[in-house]
Structure 1
Amino acid sequence: MSLVKKFATVGGATLGSRILGFARETLMAAALGTGPMADAFYAAFRFPNLFRRLFAEGAFNAAFVPLFAKEIEAGGIDGAKRFSEEVFGVLFTVLMLITIAMELAMPLIVAWVIAPGFVGDPEKFDVTVRLAIVMFPYLMCMSLTAMLSGMLNSLHHYFAAAVAPIFLNLVLIGALGYGLYTGASPLDTAWYLAWGVLVAGILQMVVLYAGVLHAGMRIGFRWPKMTPNVKRLLWLALPAAVTGGITQINQIIGQMIASTREGAISALQYADRVYQLPLGVVGIAVGVVLLPELARALKGGQEREAANLQNRSLEFVLFLTLPAAAALWVISDEIVRVLYERGAFSPETTSIVAGTLAIYGLGLPGFVLIKALNPGFFAREDTKTPMRITLFSVVVNCVLAVSLFPYFHERGIATAEATSGWLTAIFLFVTLVRRGHWPLDKALAWRVARLVMAALVMGACLHYASGLMATRLASTASLLEQVAALGALIGLSMVIYFGVAFLIGGADLGMIRRNIKRKTKPAPESGE
């Protein structure tokens, strides 16, 4: 299967999940708006999500996948199975201890980490603590799910791992739908959502385990033991956990600061959900597929193939995210109004969320580039360099967020996160180039410059067109009319961007045809 087809497989499944995520957030906006229960739920849910990114997705995508790929190359399926069982035993035990400790310390964690601004509101604080206690075991489910996902990706079974997050959105949509149908109070709705998160975590773990069985590998529980392989995994995973969770780290910092302002946490979450669509579809797809492909190419001594994989991935992410960034900047108000403005979500809230979303849009290419650049380090079993870069960018984010929030509120936090993301991407790229791990491609540089130009042209046309359709996009228009007008704007922008990109040489049919048909070269088989 070609690299682009693999991107499309993961990206397509992720797109389905993100669309359902939009439906979920639309129901959330109607049911809870940016009220205190929305703030409490999002604050409580952010914490297990942070740990999931730190100790599950980030660590395992960075450390487990290259080591698992090495075991497949060296010892075949049997060696990989033994390694997986060793890791599973240690992981399960550590997660159980972490979960118990966090559940007992949850009041202190909410007061000092999750939402210090809630301490002055005893009811809101108490609800946040109880919701977090219910949802925190989600971390354990999702960490084990991430391990199973890494196994499937290394075995070139991408779809099951990509489609699993859909279950979270389906369960939460069901919980919100039930709450709206029965006229449940905001507090009851928040409880439905909290239990829904836990149920969804269990479902995802079951689905992924079934996928691993289908791929021909059955893993059992081994008594935890610090074998050389497990020690190597932990040595790589600890810095990788920080690196892979940079976005969540910055968001939890933003949440701590935002908790001092009513409605700020939920406003940031609504904006985050929109820009996560292109970030998830493109960035996560590239990160998930590129790491095992790059690891195998490097283990097989195919340096030229590795360089080609990196350049084509960079080309792919910018080709798709530059127009998305321009659109989020230009029509953020229209997007937020159509998606959210109903029920408890007021026009004033639309203005706040749209301003935040526009700034996130400017940071979008940087966030996606991080996903494409990190595998260049992780596949070489270097997790310390990106960790150092990440720690620097976190410091920058903290300083900017604290400095800007008193003046610009949610927009200040978004500015801090976008700036931090771009700094991380730039430093990662420069480091790879200086080490000779990313050979510069002059043709790629010219294409990127032309893609930027095409995105600017598209943005200018979109600004003019949105002005012409202002009455159809206004809050006084019907929802059907608003959706049709927004769809027309998006369709027009796609025609303009792709038309200009092909016209000025930012992309060409031959290049796309080669990338779609080109198959990644497998590493030499050994015991497989």
Structure 2
Amino acid sequence: MSLARNTLVQSSLTLGSRLLGFVRDLALSARFGQGPMMDAFTTALMLPNMFRRLFAEGAFAQAFVPVYGGVKTRDGDEAAAVTASEALSFMLAMVAGFCILLQVVMPWIMPWLLSAYRDQPEVLRAAVIATQLAMPYLACMTVASLLSGVLNTGGRFALSAAVPVFLNLCTLAALVPPMFLPIPQETVLLMVATAVTVSGVIQAVLLWWGVQRLGVRLKIGLPCLTPNVRHTLALAVPGALAGGALQINSLVSQFLTGSDEGARSVLYNADRLYQLPLGLVGVAIGLALVPRLTKAFVAGDHEGGQRTLDDGINLAMAFTLPAAVALFVIPFFIIDATVTRGAFTSADASRTADVLRHFAWGVPAFVLAKVLTPPFFARQDTRRPMIFAITSVVITVVLGSGLFFWFRARGWDGVLGLAIATSTSAWVNVALLGGVLVRENSWKPSPAFLSRISRVFAASLVMAAALFAASVNYGLLSHIFLAKEIAVLIVCGVGAVLYGACLFLFRAVTVSELKATLRREPGAANVSGLD
């Protein structure tokens, strides 16, 4: 498949999952608002969610694919299957042990994670039990991440992009009955936490079936640190840390907000929105880039690698910039129109919108990091991206902590400081990654690339002006279109159409180029069947 076709498959299926996830978040917000049970839920989901993004959404898969693909090319399918089986057995054992350890010590950890509720033991108790119920999801995601890497190496992208939908389906199944029955909030929390683990089991089983259907026979045996496992871990663990810098930064922010009631809920709601472009575009392009760049690197095709990276960045920015502009220009419009209901008030929406605006200007960097790390992974260089990722985490911790407490001391919302620090560290990470690629001549932006990017920026600015005009007339538009929900859909739709028209008007893209990017490449593997 072409890069655009692979990305389209990933993004389309991810979009369906994210839309269901948005419905789930509406149900959560309506049920819990930004109160204690919502803070308990976000804490229970904090570690499982980070591992889902760190592993299942591409970081580990990006690091594992070159290792698995290299063994497959050199030694054949059977040797690759043995390598994957050994890695799976070892990692599953390690993560399962880690899960059990966390479940045992959680009663002592939770007062530090939710320090704002130390004088409310019922909230801490509910958060501890919910976290223990959701923790096995980590082990499920370990299995899912490796199986996704095997499928992606075989040219199968759809199943690994589709299975995350079960997280939303299962949690919605646990949330819907309480909407009509007088079930206590604490009971609802535990039902949703259990549903998280159930969804993980379903995802792992479906991916295992997909790998078996692909003809790869994996076995789970006794964990053993074989030479293949050591080599895999030496590349994959730093690679996962490098590709998951944003998720680690998010985890750091979650820890810092534990002392502020409602702050973790604000961070969760903002996080869900700004992560949408990352899941739809950044992860999809990142996963599609790794096999192509690996192939170009092995073949010594420097020009092909440069062209692939140009296409990847152009494609990523064409989809990401308008999303970032919308989140920056009309965050309150979006949140108040879609989320405000039940226990979630307009004041909650205003606080979340202020935080989201500072995440928005970092969105292009979050996506670019996903596009700029595959060239390192393709050459099995995971050390330097890991160093850059650690640097960004240090910036988030130091700058975020300083701004968080300084803002609170001045009577401002401390979460704003965390958003500023997260976006700043993301741009530093991109500068480090891009600087190395340019300095080593692994990527040299072509004049055509620079021209196209500038036109994408111009189209985004036109859309920004239109959205700003809509935002200052939010009340009027809600009255004209009878409901704020209808108004936000129309405004976003008009903005998308205007942006698309400007792309063609400014010749950032042409019809012939669009057809060419979506055309299957000669000799590409047939990915029908399972996908």
TM-score (norm 2): 0.93
Higher mean C-alpha deviation, range 52-61 or range 387-396 = 52-61
Shift of 1:414: 1.2
Corresponding residue of 1:234? 233
Higher mean C-alpha deviation, range 122-131 or range 227-236 = 122-131
| Gapped regions of structure 1 (runs ≥ 5) | 524-528
Contact 2:63 2:240 in 1 (8 A): no
Mapped partners of 2:268, 2:134: distance in 1: 17
Mapped partners of 1:35, 1:116: distance in 2: 14
1:50 aligns with 2:68: no
Corresponding residue of 1:191? 190
Corresponding residue of 1:10? 10
Shift of 1:54: 4.7
Shift of 1:53: 4.4
Aligned residues: 519
Corresponding residue of 2:339? 340
For residues 53 and 281 of structure 1, do their structure 2 counterparts lie closer, same or farther at Cα, with a shift above 3 Å needed? Answer: closer
Corresponding residue of 1:303? 302
Aligned partner of 2:31: which letter? A
Give deviations 1:187-226, integer Å, cap 9, x for gaps.
Answer: 1110111100110110111111111112112211233222
For residues 58 and 111 of structure 1, do their structure 2 counterparts lie closer, same or farther at Cα, with a shift above 3 Å needed? Answer: farther
Corresponding residue of 1:265? 264
For residues 63 and 469 of structure 1, do their structure 2 counterparts lie closer, same or farther at Cα, with a shift above 3 Å needed? Answer: closer
Give deviations 1:434-458, integer Å, cap 9, x for gaps.
Answer: 1111122121112112211221121
1:386 aligns with 2:385: yes
**Map 1:9-48 → 2, pairs under 5 A:** 9-48=9-48
**Map 1:94-493 → 2, pairs under 5 A:** 94-112=94-112, 114-406=113-405, 407=407, 408-473=413-478, 481-493=483-495
Aligned partner of 1:42: which letter? T
Aligned partner of 2:456: which letter? L
Shift of 1:503: 2.0
Shift of 1:162: 0.3
Shift of 1:9: 0.4
Higher mean C-alpha deviation, range 436-445 or range 150-159 = 436-445
Higher mean C-alpha deviation, range 180-189 or range 99-108 = 99-108
Partner residue of 2:498 out of 484, 496, 503: 496
For residues 521 and 105 of structure 1, do their structure 2 counterparts lie closer, same or farther at Cα, with a shift above 3 Å needed? Answer: farther
Structure 2 counterpart SS, 1:226:
coil
Shift of 1:343: 0.2
Shift of 1:286: 0.7
| Gapped regions of structure 2 (runs ≥ 5) | 408-412, 526-531
Give deviations 1:399-455, integer Å, cap 9, x for gaps.
Answer: 222122231322221111111112111211111111111122121112112211221
Structure 2 counterpart SS, 1:61:
helix
Mapped partners of 1:396, 1:211: distance in 2: 40
Higher mean C-alpha deviation, range 147-156 or range 427-436 = 427-436
Contact 1:239 1:383 in 2 (8 A): yes
Corresponding residue of 2:529? none
Corresponding residue of 1:526? none
Contact 2:151 2:211 in 1 (8 A): yes
Contact 1:307 1:439 in 2 (8 A): yes
Give deviations 1:354-402, integer Å, cap 9, x for gaps.
Answer: 1112222211111111111111111111111111111111111112221
Mapped partners of 1:453, 1:446: distance in 2: 11
Corresponding residue of 1:78? 78
Contact 1:328 1:361 in 2 (8 A): yes
Contact 1:141 1:205 in 2 (8 A): yes
Higher mean C-alpha deviation, range 200-209 or range 223-232 = 223-232
Shift of 1:263: 0.7
Shift of 1:116: 4.0
Shift of 1:238: 2.6
Higher mean C-alpha deviation, range 256-265 or range 45-54 = 45-54
